Amino acid sequence: MSEFTPPQEMVTLTIDGQEVAVPPGTTILQAAESTGNRIPHYCYHPGLSAPAQCRLCLVEVEGAPKLQPSCVTQVRDGQVVHTASEKAKGMRQGVLEFYLANHPLDCPICDQSGECKLQDYVHAEGRKHGRSREPKRVFGRDDFGGDVLFYGDRCVMCTRCVRFMNEVAQDPRLTVVERGNRSVIDTFFEDGVEGSPYAGNIVDICPVGALVSKDFLHKARAWDLDHTPSVCPNCSQGCNIDLHVRDNRVQRLKPRANPDVNGHWMCDYGRNRFEWMNREDRLSFPLLREAGEARPAEWGTVLSGLLENLEEPRPIRAVASPFSSTEDLVALRRVVDALGGGDILFRSPEADEEIPLPGFPQLARRRDLSPNRRTAELLQMKRVGGADGRGGLEALADYTGTLIVLGDALTDQDADFGRQAALYLYLGSHPSPAATQADVVLPIPTFAEQEGTFINGQGRVQRFWPGLVGPAQARPAWMALGVVLSRLGLGELPGTAAEAFLAATGVLPELQGLRYETIGTRGAILNEPVLVAGS
Amino acid sequence: MAYPYTHEKEVRVLSRGWGDPRTRTLEGWKAMGGYTALPKALGMSRAEVIDEVKASGLRGRGGAGFPTGIKWSFMPGDKKGAHYLCCNADESEPGTFKDRELLRWTPHQLIEGCLIGAYAIQADHVFIYCRGEFFEATQVLSRAVEEAYEAGYIGKDILGSGHDIDITVFAGAGAYICGEETALMNSIEGRRGLPRVKPPFPAAVGLFGKPTTINNVETLSSIPHIVNNGGSWYRQWGSEKSPGTKLFCVSGHVRRPGNYELPLGFPLEELIYDVCGGFREGRSLKAVIPGGSSVPIMSAADCAGCLLDYEGVVERGSMLGCASVIIMDDSTNIVKQVRRMVDFYAHESCGQCTPCREGTQWLSRILVRIEHGRGTEEDLDTLLELGNQMTGTTICVLSDSAAAPVASSIQKFRDDYLALIRRGEKVGAA
């Protein structure tokens, strides 16, 4: 049980005629947001300090002589706030016109177009025609190092980027130089944010197209991207992300806010490792090895042959991957146990050090570089090999029993791997030389192409959703292995990831009490097994 | 004693020693009766000092005119950590040059005022923030501070009273905005000189996060005289609401521009025609900016019968500000004059708030266009509306200050604008 917290006194105020009750210390902007009333703003960001300088969030507070910046003005009992009064709207229109006085209006070639706050706000409330007839100030572009490109003319001087580097990354590499109309964001040194491990976030928090990603530059328009909630698979932190997909290719990864895991942020290490999800060299069909040659075959043929072959009692061993989903790993554990039990090995890469985000310390690029090692450990799988995620499979070289490989590409093994095995079943997404000797190769989707869960290093179960369409013949490993289990009389064949998860809750006591549907997009803490004294 | 231009109507309280190099030294200042107020104040309770200042009715001389005694009483009575007093000597408003003279001629007067002020608000440390360009003044002041340290007026256990007060002279780097009290504190702390959002106010969270009071040089320089002679003595000049003497910095088209210390409530016309000697041959009054570039401009009609105190000038649609009277005769191109002032604000805007950052520049560009005969009548409406959007929408009042002369000049000198616009139209048509 969590500690008892006394009921908090609430402050009641009226925003646009609607009564709102919020805890004391809340700002008007947050209070309005809680009712779905989003007051336009640039400089305020929930993960940063609020300098109240963009002047866009000014609202009318009855009794105050001037409009008040809602991002820093705290609520008071009985306060009456108007966010859409003539005065507040007129002021917003005025401020927006100021923003456009020097803005290049290059939306047609701007990457931010479609997800640009200046565009949104001006379309919603701006003047139909700007009145500025004056020549515009020109700054031009600047390479900020790393993946960041700066278009000075689009900048609205909200200073979110400067504050992120100062307060959150605590690596002050950006500043405002000059003053007044000449002020512009700049780097201190030639290499700018190069090598700063969280610098990519400044592109995300830039409300306009001033800071853009070089990698994503001119790749896709924002309105053509589908956003799929997912979990970053590049370390055991499990940052919540969105896959931004166009033409069945992941174009970029963006952090998805989750205050319990990654706040609003993610590291550049994770952000930049998505190209593999777009690999086109895929295992597209089940392969059946006959007379020394692997031939594409129907799933039905392959599975019935496989089931027949498994009836013969033999020792069994498996190699799993901590990059597989919890459902896949549990299914593998169950199959191995059902066929007499045996070691399941896994290899897991590790970095030399953690890279924490100083301003948000619960977020770090973890040493453990796999997303689901926790599950493998809970399932009593054995970690072998080195910190590079290779080696440790020497014992399998002459293995003569049943061998199952799930998800591990076995990049360190040669084409002779598994030659001695009586039955070698390989479940993978990409072709691998080490699968040459496999009797049965089953194509499975990557995590980006299917539903499932990972359990991160902090013991948080987190769901991911399919953002890409995988090869037509690929089936999740839990489904393929589920066929084996149902044939062995161990439960019904799961038809959905939810059913596979339900099956997993029966195997892993830590998952008991969790329901797939209620994990939602924020994740749920593992239910630690209750230790009974003396047992 | 050859301080340029004095006048028999002056009441020289603060400027008494101006022009006499001896006043810069500790000995010279003591010979003039200096450093008698400090021991007297230390012998009084803090509340008594504050009450005396309240009784004098002294109002802040930096421009806002807030009563000094009341400002001091905002400081927490029960002291929990450090308290600071900042002296604002970042005098940079166009048309203002009184603090510079106070620093140059009577640094000990200021030091004494700072010490009394620090005692009253329980400050341990006084920072005197000098404008970066005040090179000579800063040197004179620094020398005086050293002397006062040596003589035991500053430092540990001053005059055996058991109170420790330090004074640091801090030179700015030349930004007008650092004269804004919270930007000044940021500057002392080593940050960019950006005004802070209020609340919290400096009396609660100020310099280095501690309770802080910021006073102008002229305000603090008046303190020793008030303590010595009493609040009612100070009230012999000026009006009920605006008592005391005030330094008027007069510049522009008069025969004898300069600093004049006059009782508040002095008639503007007497200042122009008598004290300053009137206009050049054949010229007459066109406009007056009574309180530095940031206040609305007054037409000749507004000036008739105007009394120079806080209320009197407000009555005429402007503000006394820091009493920097800029006088313009009928040869003045008002549009050019206003454009130059707006240029100043565009140059000095810190760039935080959007209305100010973009607005000051925009105003300036429209004014340049009008000045060069490329304006339209619609531009005047645009100017007024931009000015309106720049007023009351920003963290500090620099933006309001830039808008004030534009709006007031269009209101009062619309014909000047129209003449330039029409001249341009004619040239365009031909």
Whether A181 sits inside 8 A of B175 (CB atoms) is: no
| CB–CB contact A99 B361 (8 Å) | no
- Over residues A434-450, the mean pLDDT reads 96
Architecture of domain A11-84: Roll (3.10)
Say what the pLDDT of residue A3 is. Answer: 52
Which of B167, B199, B234 is a domain's end point?
Answer: B234
Q: Which residues of B208-246 are buried (b: 16+ CB within 10 A; e: fewer)?
A: eebbbbbbbbbbbbbbbbbbbeebeebbebbbeebbbbb
Task: Specify whether B325 is located in the same domain as B344.
Answer: no
Is residue A535 scored above 50 in pLDDT? no
* CB < 8 Å to B354, chain A: 53-56, 95, 98-99, 156-157
Q: Which position has the token pair 């003279």?
A: B101
Chain A residue closest to B381 (CA)?
A131
Structural domain includes residue B8: no
B332 touches chain A (CB under 8 A): no
CATH number at residue B256: 3.10.20.600
Region A302-306: mean pLDDT is: 93
Q: Which residue of B has its CA nearest to A155?
A: B354
Tell whether B314 and B339 lie within a shared domain: no
Q: Give B42's contacts (C-beta < 8 A, 6+ positions apart).
A: B119, B158, B159, B161, B163
Of B282, B297, B329, the last residue of a domain is B329
Q: How confident is the model at residue B425 (pLDDT cuts 50, 70, 90)?
A: confident
Single-letter amino acid, residue A206: C
- C-beta separation of A105 from A215 below 8 A: no
B408 and B421, same domain (yes or no) = yes
Within an 8 Å CB–CB cutoff, is residue B333 touching chain A?
A: no
Interface test with chain A among B358, B360, B388, B399, by most A beta carbons within 10 Å:
B358
Mutate to test the interface with B, among A44, A49, A55, A117 (most CBs of B within 10 A): A55
Q: Are residues B83 and B102 in the same domain?
A: yes
Residue A48: pLDDT band (50, 70, 90) is very high
Task: Estimate to the nearest angstrom the gap between the alpha carbon of A487 and the chain centroid.
Answer: 36
How many other CB atoms are there within 10 angstroms of residue B164's CB atom? 13
Q: Are residues B228 and B249 in the same domain?
A: no
Choose the final residue of a domain: B302, B329, B356: B329
Q: Give the mean pLDDT of A154-180.
A: 96
Residue B181 lies in a domain: yes
Please give, rounded to a whole number of angstroms, the shortest distance from the CA of B310 to a CA of chain A: 21
pLDDT at A425 > cutoff 50: yes
Question: Which residue in B200, B258, B359, B210 sits closest to A134, CA to CA?
Answer: B359
Kindly tell me if the per-residue pLDDT of A7 is higher than 90: no
* Total of domains in chain B: 3
Q: What is the pLDDT of residue A6?
A: 56
Q: What's the start-to-end Cα distance of chain A, in Å?
A: 23
Computed over every residue of chain A, the mean pLDDT equals 94
Q: Is the model more confident about B162 or about B428?
A: B162
A531 has a pLDDT exceeding 70 = no
Start-to-end CA span in chain B (Å): 60
* B7 lies within 8 A of chain A by CB: no
Minimum-distance CB partner of B389 among A65, A91, A178: A91
Amino acid identity of residue A154, one-letter, is R
Contact B144, B87 (CB under 8 A): no
How many angstroms separate the Cα of B293 from the Cα of each of A144, B94, B107, B267, B369?
Answer: 40, 6, 26, 20, 21
Q: Report residue B331's pLDDT band, with 50, 70 and 90 as the boundaries.
A: very high
pLDDT of residue A4: 57
Q: Are residues B350 and B215 both part of a single domain? A: no
Please state, in angstroms and rounded to a whole number, the distance separating the CA atoms of residues B401 and B406. 9
CB-based contact A102 B359, cutoff 8 Å: no
A255 vs B425, more confident: A255
Calculate mean pLDDT across residues A431-446: 95
Say what the pLDDT of residue A533 is: 45
Contacts of B393 in chain A (CB under 8 A): 55, 58, 66-67, 91, 94-95
Nearest to B360 among A65, A157, A181 (CB): A181
- Is residue A532 predicted with pLDDT exceeding 70? no
Give me the pLDDT at residue B1, please: 37
* Per-residue pLDDT reduced to its tens digit, A357-369: 999 999 999 999 9
pLDDT confidence of residue B6: 87
Query: Considering CB atoms only, which of A95, A134, A180 is closest to B350?
Result: A180
Across the interface, whether the CB atoms of B358 and A98 are under 8 A apart is answered: yes
Per-residue model confidence (pLDDT) at position A530? 46
- Mean pLDDT in residue range B32-53: 96
- How far is Cα B380 from Cα B361, in angstroms, rounded to an integer? 16
Q: Reply yes or no on whether the pLDDT at A9 is more than 90.
A: no
| Chain B (352-391) residues lying within 8 Å, Cβ to Cβ, of chain A | 352-362, 365-366, 369, 382, 385-386, 388-389
Same domain (yes/no): B296, B152: no
How many helices and strands in chain A, by DSSP H and E?
12, 26
Q: What's the average model confidence in pLDDT over B258-285?
A: 96
Are both B104 and B38 inside the same structural domain? Answer: yes
Confidence bin at B430 (pLDDT 50/70/90) = low
Q: Is the pLDDT of residue A233 over 80?
A: yes
| The predicted structure's pLDDT at residue B262 | 97
Stretch B259-279: mean pLDDT, rounded?
96
Nearest CA in chain A to B348: A180
**3-class secondary structure, B276:** coil
> Which residues on chain A are in Cβ contact (under 8 Å) with B343?
none
Task: Tell me which chain B residue has its CA closest to the CA of residue A74.
Answer: B199
CATH of the domain at B130: 3.40.50.11540
Pick from B92, B154, B129: which is nearest to B214 by CA?
A: B129
Name the residue facing A95 among B348, B355, B395 (closest C-beta).
B355
**pLDDT band for position A84 (cuts 50, 70, 90):** very high
Residue of A65, A72, A132 lying closest to B362 (CB–CB)? A132
What value does the mean pLDDT take over residues A467-490?
Answer: 95
- The domain limits of chain A are 11-84, 287-352+365-525
Options 3.40.50.740, 1.20.58.1290, 3.30.43.10, 3.40.50.10320; CATH of A287-352+365-525:
3.40.50.740
Question: B320 lies in a domain?
Answer: yes
DSSP 8-state class, residue B178? G
Q: Are residues B252 and B354 in the same domain?
A: no
Neighbouring residues of A490: CB distance < 8 A, sequence distance ≥ 6: A334, A338
Do B46 and B66 lie in a common domain?
yes
Share of chain A above pLDDT 90, in %: 91
Query: Is B151 in the same domain as B263?
Result: no
| Contact (CB<8Å) B389/A156 | no
Cα separation, B83 vs B213, in Å, equals 8
pLDDT at A534 over 60: no
Residue A376 in this model has a pLDDT that exceeds 60: yes
Residues of A with Cβ-Cβ distance to B348 under 8 angstroms: 179-180
Q: Are residues B92 and B196 in the same domain?
A: yes
Range of the domain at B80: 21-234
3-state SS string for A333-355: HHHHHHCCCCCEEECCCECCCCE
Residue of B nearest to A68 (CA): B393
For residue B346, the chain A residues in CB contact (below 8 A) are: 180-181
pLDDT at B5: 80
- Work out the average pLDDT over B241-266: 96
Q: Which of A66, A176, A179 sits opposite B392 (nearest CB)?
A: A66
